[in-house]
A and B are shown apart, each in its own frame.
Chain A
Amino acid sequence: MRVMKDCLRVASLMAAGAALIASVSATPASSQEKVLRAVLHADVRVLDPHWTTATIAGIHGMLVYDTLFGNNSQLEPKPQMVDRYEVSADRLTYTFTLRDGLKFHDGQPVTSKDVIPSLRRWAAKDGVGQRLFSFVKSFEAVDAKTFRMELTKPYGMVLESLGKTGTSVPIIMREQDALTDPNTQIKEAIGSGPFRFAKDQWVPGSKAVYLKNPDYVPRPGNEPASFFAGSKFAGVDRIELVWISDAQTAMQALINGEIDFYENPNIDFYPILEQAKGVRLAPTGEIDSHQGMIRLNHLHPPFNNKKARQAMYHLVNQEDFLRAVVGDPKYYSVCHGLITCKTPFASDGGSQLFKDHNPKKALQMFKEAGYNGEPIVILATTDHNTITPATQVLIQAMREAGLNVDAQAMDWGTTVTRRAKKDPPAQGGWNIFVTTTGGMNASHPVLHTWIGAACDKGLFGWPCNDKIEALRNDFAFAQTLEEKKRIARDLQALAMDEVVYVPFGQWNQLIAYRSDRLSGFVPNTGLVVLWNIEKK
């Protein structure tokens, strides 16, 4: 009897507790608010898209800011903030007029006074911008909405540069922000883009929040969106970029419906995601999103000798790399070129160097180049989804060929530091590191920074060939598509001969999203685009 009474007392206490909990439980957020929860490849930590080339900063930038032009999927620049533009007959003068109604998130109108210092700031650090501005004689405002750029030569990539889809993107910021030293981060993220950055809700390393900009004026005419071109609108009220560092947890959160969009699911999870209800795996764009690169150090032996560099073509079997990195042939393609295959400027220039997979020949060529068995230092990154397996395949291939490989294991952060060193490999330098580049950037001879050979001023590895740089300049001045294609072919042939890097294939990194709730995804091989996405 006493036990029964005790049980009843406990039960009633529990019921009261449950009622109390229910009463103080969160009232649901406004059921009308559409929130897109997305997990991207990195967390938003840097708010200044001019200050860094990190892709995530570019994605943030394109949500908050806008650009004068936006390149579409054919890499054709289309006006975005610009209403109209005129190019003089001699192609030396470009006059731009901004669209009506453009406003920053603090209510200030966007004017020429904001555009000019923004682009100067962008060009102070960006390679494409530097190249453009090396031909700019003057860049001045005509009136509040009109500005003029005068060139010293008829540079043919003005609009493509201003519509660039790779980082750092040429976003337009307020004059007061644009006057900040390019090596110092801006403190506020106030742009004129379709979303406003909610800085008060930002938790670096965890969550970045973007709110719909009700004052955003999209391009009129409802132009279909294609990469950065076309009419943009905020399809949801709020975007939360949630950083989930554990790939397994992110995948499960997507399947369970706790997030809506996952930018780069681990390749091993594709079969699971393909079977998951309500989830769709899709390519990022029409162009393969990534190209693999084996970068050689041209400063030190053995790769200061072209023969040794060319020997690498006989060692690398792209299928082996792509199977290790991607797995399913549906998602990758062999491409024996430096310019992304199946794009307008792709060709077979130089690809004959890649036709003979012959490790014995490779070793012979190394010996002819003076190689005597010295250790070849490879920076073996251990914590990267794609670079790690590719590096392991490379190490194995080189060892099987009889080369003495010193594979030094390190995390990506250390690789990024060490690759900048020009010291001899035995004194803290390196001979080889593996990396990837975006398929979009690699589809264009000028935007493809890794195809350059600017010696000391170039990227790690420091290939040096004036003719390659001259051809890239020629491309920028070419007037017709045929001429551009011819130059692109010659450029690739020369760069392959010089071995600026050894490509190991290309692939399409898929995105995964809840197709039962989301529509309107805009494919973009450069930076993932989150505008125009609508949620049920």
Chain B
Amino acid sequence: MTAYILRRLLATIPVMGVVAVFVFFLLRFAPGDPAAIIAGEDATVQQIAAVRAKLGLDRPVLEQFAIWVWGMLQGDFGTSIFSNMPVTRLILQRLEPTLALTLSTLLVAILLAIPLGVLAAARSRRLSDRLVMLFAVMGFACPVFLVGYVLIYVFAMKLGWLPVQGYVPISQGIWAWAERLILPSLALGITYMALIARITRASMLEVLAQDYIRTANSKGLTTGRVLLLHALKNASVPIVTVIGIGIALLISGVVITETVFNIPGLGRLTVDAVLKRDYPIVQGLIIVFAGVKVLVNLLIDISYVFLDPRIRY
């Protein structure tokens, strides 16, 4: 197992290298000039050129790339062109809100979606199954921002139960922190729930058709015991896989959710940095997101060992 983990970690190096090359050159070749944006509306061409020179953006692209890679290898992701703050610090500032939103979304989605999928499978082709599948279809069809606006309108504006926007760090109180995550988690979680519920249902249906399930039933075990202890455990590998794949969905969804609900997380940071052409931030964030995705994939693969004793590395 240790050797497997080490091999996988070593394999991330070329993956991250490709990501670094891709993101760096894609940004450089995309239209837009951060120097022009920084210099402001009324800046002349000469002023823009001066800003560009000062930021080192007039250097050859390969030189800029080499400087950036060398810095990254020493743990320095560079400095924001606009705010003059280290990219690492900016990312750390925004990490808590995104982590909080992602984890709360995962929690909500998993706690709701898996039972729904199990229920749909257990009552296949009956009304509850149809309702769950209808929910899944609606969940895929409705964009996150639309769900977000509707939730804001109903629960914040009309009922006044929850705030419209914002984020409060957990250090300032659990309820103040939690109440601002409820609506965004629901908005973001609905698509995720739809995906997990469907996969859970499909996987459960496959398992429920197996002989050992018939044996368990005929032994007189309760329905709950059969579903949870025998069926769900054997159906869990594809469910865990889709949860892992869904993390990538979450990252893109977080961007929209953080914008709609004004959560100062990494998603918002990405959007703002892209629009302003703040290259160091975009580069740093893409590297971080790629690293997270690689790590999540590794953790998912490791989890199979615990879910299915037949799997060994």
Contacts and interface: CB of A to CB of B under 8 A. Distances in A.
A449 B277 CA distance: 26
B32 A413 contact: yes
A46 interface: yes
B262 A246 contact: yes
A55 B37 CA distance: 12
Interface of B: 31-33, 36-48, 50-51, 53-54, 80, 82-85, 90, 93-94, 149, 152-153, 156-157, 160, 163-166, 168, 172-176, 178, 259-262, 264, 268-269, 271-272, 275-277
Contacts of A206: 94, 264, 268
A127 B84 contact: no
B44 A252 contact: no
A253 interface: yes
Contact of B41 (A21, A53, A185): A53
B164 A258 contact: yes
A411 B33 CA distance: 12
B261 A249 contact: yes
A410 B41 contact: no
A486 B19 CA distance: 63
A26 interface: yes
A361 interface: no
Given A21-B175, A46-B83, A204-B82, A52 B38 contact: yes
21 contacts: A25-B176, A51-B38, A52-B43, A53-B39, A53-B42, A54-B40, A203-B93, A204-B90, A205-B90, A245-B259, A250-B262, A256-B160, A258-B164, A410-B31, A413-B275, A413-B277, A416-B37, A420-B33, A457-B44, A457-B46, A459-B42
A252 B152 contact: yes
A459 B44 contact: yes
Interface residues of A, number: 58
A255 B32 CA distance: 36
B26 to A, nearest CB: 15
A417 interface: yes
B31 A414 contact: yes
Interface of A: 21-22, 24-27, 43, 45-47, 51-55, 57, 125, 127, 167-168, 181, 183-185, 187, 203-207, 242, 244-246, 248-250, 252-253, 255-256, 258, 410-411, 413-414, 416-418, 420, 422, 435, 437, 449, 457-460
Contacts of A167: 40, 42
A417 B33 contact: yes
B64 to A, nearest CB: 17
Contacts of B272: 43, 205, 245
Given A45-B82, A245-B271, A417 B163 contact: no
A242 B262 CA distance: 9
A53 B39 CA distance: 6
A25 B171 CA distance: 9
Contacts of B47: 125
Contacts of A420: 33, 36, 45, 48
A417 B272 CA distance: 17
A258 B160 CA distance: 12
B137 to A, nearest CB: 26
B172 A418 contact: no
Given A185-B84, A410-B31, A25 B174 contact: yes
Contacts of A417: 31-33, 36-37
